[in-house]
Structure 1
Amino acid sequence: MLNLRVSATVLGLIVSSTALSILQTPPPEPCTGNCTFIHDPSVVRRSDGTWLRFSTIGNIAIATAPALTGPWTYQGALLPQGSTIRVRDDQELWAPDVFFANDQFYAYYSVSKSGFQGSDIGVATSKTGDAGTWTDHGSVGVPKSADYNVIDANLFRECDTCDNVWTFGSAWKGVYQTSLTKDYLKWGGEIPRQVLYNSSYPLKPQTFPSITEGGFLFWWAVGGTKYYYNFFSSGACCNAADDLQAPGDEYKIMVCRATSPTGPFTDADGKNCASENGGTLVLGSHGNVYAPGGQGVIVEPGVNRVALYYHYADRSIGYAFDQFLFGFNYLDFSSGWPVVTS
């Protein structure tokens, strides 16, 4: 948790390492243009150098920019008429995950409503990623379960001939993994297995003990060892200004790692991230930044730096859903664990 613990000694007050890391966390990098009303961003870079950002609401909003910092320009909806999937009359499209393979873009999107467990994940494809070019293929077909919610997809494929790993899940019993068919359009039949769960952060008013969601796989080699990092969001997102969670229980970005993309994942203290409430803090609330989450990770070409991108509320602006912003920071993996740096 993000408690700022202080230990008294005969020499005075020594700030704990957790508190010190929070105090030293830099603000988000600059963002210009369309940077507001952003939730659950997914960012990719096209071969022509154009950055594309996809985000929740507006039937998956698409924006483009010449650089990660912007200026971002809204281009339209990924599915202007909505999805062919129908889970309820007032459904919304959430949490896009966009991946390039087989000479086209794949966009996995959630069909749901807040607190609803009968959700589904669909997939659409496009050759360019531009608004107006997407074809909806409907549901991926992963089975429903009382253990998880079928939202927050993430497709991971390490190489052209490697097996894919498809991560999904939110709340209830957390984040699960399975795989898709080789065309990435349908569930491959592998029974989903739990890989991330953390019940440490009590929430209101939900009946489930916590939210563990948005698993995102990313590999990076450190000291000759290839690690697979599973970034996820944990805690409470999007509370009203007069009903905020206790400090440390709000949304935050956590990580666990493994030497295989399918786990088992452990945190920096060696805790299992599926069975022992494991999870190492990457980015929590600090300064004006409140409840960062909905994250993804991407290598920025040219500078070869790893960027962690996410949504967050700015305390100086407000906590309303439409006030959330797009943010990103760079990561340093030299210790073996991702550390936010400027």
Structure 2
Amino acid sequence: MPGPSLFAGLISLVAIARRAELWPNPEPCLGNCTFIHDPSVVRRSDGTWFRISTNGNIAIATAPELIGPWEYQGAMLPDGSKIDVMENQELWAPDVFHEKDEFYAYYSVSRMGSQDSDIGVATSKDAMPGTWTDHGSIGLPKRDETLNYNRIDANFFKECKDCEPIMNYGSAWNDVYQTNLKKDYLSWGGTTPQQKVYNSTFSVGQTFASITEGAFLFWWKVGDKKYYYMFFSSGACCNSADQLAAPGEEYKIMVCRSETVNGRYVDADGKDCLTENGGTLVLGSHGDVYAPGGQGVIVNPDNNKIALYYHYVNTTIGYNYEDFLFGFNYIDLSSGWPVVTAA
């Protein structure tokens, strides 16, 4: 007789299939929209959109609108990072923050499957290639028996002018952690990192716990309630066409929320996202869209809508690393939980 885990998996697949019928396709993307991983999107005060992403020592592209046309401009750090953690290291998963005419880009230095990673930061007044100053590591504590995390997938969060700057980070190895930064945003603030999101379930055929990564924190007021939404990616990101994850185990965008920035984070069913494997599905595979993730959220001032952006595979194009596309949809938070909508 099938065990409870199998029944749970079947129920989950049915739920995903029902939601997939409601998810719209990504909004149009014009211009340079291919070979995109882990995008971070920010808008300069003159109206120029910047998309900064993994590959090529952090790729920079610009556009007049969120839909494009996107134009590749060059590498953020063409000579690589001053951080040196291993041979053949790569720069990943930038997260860009803009304040007081200064851009701050947090980036990861690592290699696939490595836990000996680090997080660095670079700054620029202009955000264009050739204007960035690399400050190296932000100085997060190295992993140990107590803090057994991976220092990648940084996400900067600051709610107000005088609020404390927060850093969320982590991938696998106990998943998502949170700490603080100093007021200059260039180095660790000294608060002991605290685990915020963790999933202990094992995917089909997998010998390690579910991958949870790419946290992105966003606050929004619903009625008289202020909520902090912790978006994250879950599942297998970038498998080749002949090694795809079991259905439902591929990359997808999840969310948990809290009434305080430090948590406790729970899902829409009230499950704790640290101790009960909680997480509410926001966007998964549907139609020709496969494995969306590496997400971020931004309010588009051109229409005052909240945009959820991400990378994904179009199954009619291919699953190769260079085939990944930039996508975004708008989300509605009026119910208290993010619902993907058509424009």
Question: TM-score, normalised to structure 2's length?
Answer: 0.94
Residue-by-residue CA offset, 1:85-112 (whole Å, 9 max, x unaligned):
0011110000000001242000000000
- Aligned partner of 2:272 in structure 1 is 272
Question: Aligned partners of 1:158 and 1:219: how far apart in 2?
Answer: 8
Aligned length: 333
- Asked if the contact 2:150–2:173 (Cα under 8 Å) also holds between the matched residues in 1, the reply is yes
Q: Which runs of 5+ in 1 are unaligned?
A: 7-14
Alignment map for 1:219-258 (pairs within 5 Å): 219-258=219-258
SS at match of 2:242: coil
SS at match of 1:125: strand
- Asked if the contact 1:330–1:340 (Cα under 8 Å) also holds between the matched residues in 2, the reply is yes
Question: Aligned partners of 1:65 and 1:212: how far apart in 2?
Answer: 31
Is residue 2:84 matched to residue 1:83?
no
Residue-by-residue CA offset, 1:318-342 (whole Å, 9 max, x unaligned):
1111100000000011111001001
Question: Aligned partners of 2:297 and 2:248: how far apart in 1?
Answer: 23
Code of the residue aligned with 1:263 in structure 2: it is G
Question: Aligned partners of 2:306 and 2:205: how far apart in 1?
Answer: 34
- Aligned partner of 1:192 in structure 2 is 193
Instruction: Quote the offset at 1:2 in angstroms.
Output: 11
Question: Aligned partners of 1:137 and 1:242: how far apart in 2?
Answer: 41
Code of the residue aligned with 2:57 in structure 1: it is N
- Aligned partner of 2:69 in structure 1 is 71
Code of the residue aligned with 2:172 in structure 1: it is A
Change (3 A) 1:270 1:113: same
Is residue 2:124 matched to residue 1:123?
no
- Aligned partner of 2:3 in structure 1 is none
Worse-matched range after superposition: 180-189 or 99-108: 99-108
Question: Aligned partners of 2:330 and 2:28: how far apart in 1?
Answer: 12
SS at match of 2:241: coil
Alignment map for 1:193-208 (pairs within 5 Å): 193-202=194-203, 207-208=207-208
Question: Aligned partners of 1:233 and 1:115: how far apart in 2?
Answer: 17
- Aligned partner of 2:54 in structure 1 is 56
Residue-by-residue CA offset, 1:267-320 (whole Å, 9 max, x unaligned):
001011011100000000111111110000000003110000000011111111
- Asked if the contact 2:16–2:284 (Cα under 8 Å) also holds between the matched residues in 1, the reply is no
- Asked if the contact 2:170–2:177 (Cα under 8 Å) also holds between the matched residues in 1, the reply is yes
Question: Aligned partners of 2:272 and 2:309: how far apart in 1?
Answer: 25
- Aligned partner of 1:41 in structure 2 is 39
Change (3 A) 1:204 1:118: farther
Aligned-residue CA RMSD (Å):
1.8
Worse-matched range after superposition: 283-292 or 17-26: 17-26
- Aligned partner of 1:217 in structure 2 is 217
Question: Aligned partners of 1:60 and 1:90: how far apart in 2?
Answer: 15
Question: Aligned partners of 1:281 and 1:110: how far apart in 2?
Answer: 26
Code of the residue aligned with 1:319 in structure 2: it is Y
Question: Aligned partners of 1:121 and 1:240: how far apart in 2?
Answer: 28
Instruction: Quote the offset at 1:19 in angstroms.
Output: 3.1
Question: Aligned partners of 2:237 and 2:8: how far apart in 1?
Answer: 15
Code of the residue aligned with 2:214 in structure 1: it is G
- Asked if the contact 2:16–2:248 (Cα under 8 Å) also holds between the matched residues in 1, the reply is no
Q: Stretches of 4+ moved more than 6 A in 1?
A: 1-4
Code of the residue aligned with 1:96 in structure 2: it is P
- Aligned partner of 1:294 in structure 2 is 294
Residue-by-residue CA offset, 1:227-282 (whole Å, 9 max, x unaligned):
00000001011011011111110110000000111111000010110111000000
Residue-by-residue CA offset, 1:154-186 (whole Å, 9 max, x unaligned):
110011111111100000100000000000000
- Aligned partner of 2:316 in structure 1 is 316
Question: Aligned partners of 1:198 and 1:230: how far apart in 2?
Answer: 14
- Aligned partner of 2:179 in structure 1 is 178
Instruction: Quote the offset at 1:17 in angstroms.
Output: 5.8
Question: Aligned partners of 2:55 and 2:302: how far apart in 1?
Answer: 32
Instruction: Quote the offset at 1:18 in angstroms.
Output: 4.6
Percent of residue pairs bearing the same amino acid type: 66
Question: Aligned partners of 2:10 and 2:318: how far apart in 1?
Answer: 23
SS at match of 1:24: coil
Question: Aligned partners of 2:14 and 2:82: how far apart in 1?
Answer: 52
Question: TM-score, normalised to structure 1's length?
Answer: 0.94
Change (3 A) 1:204 1:294: farther
- Aligned partner of 1:133 in structure 2 is 131
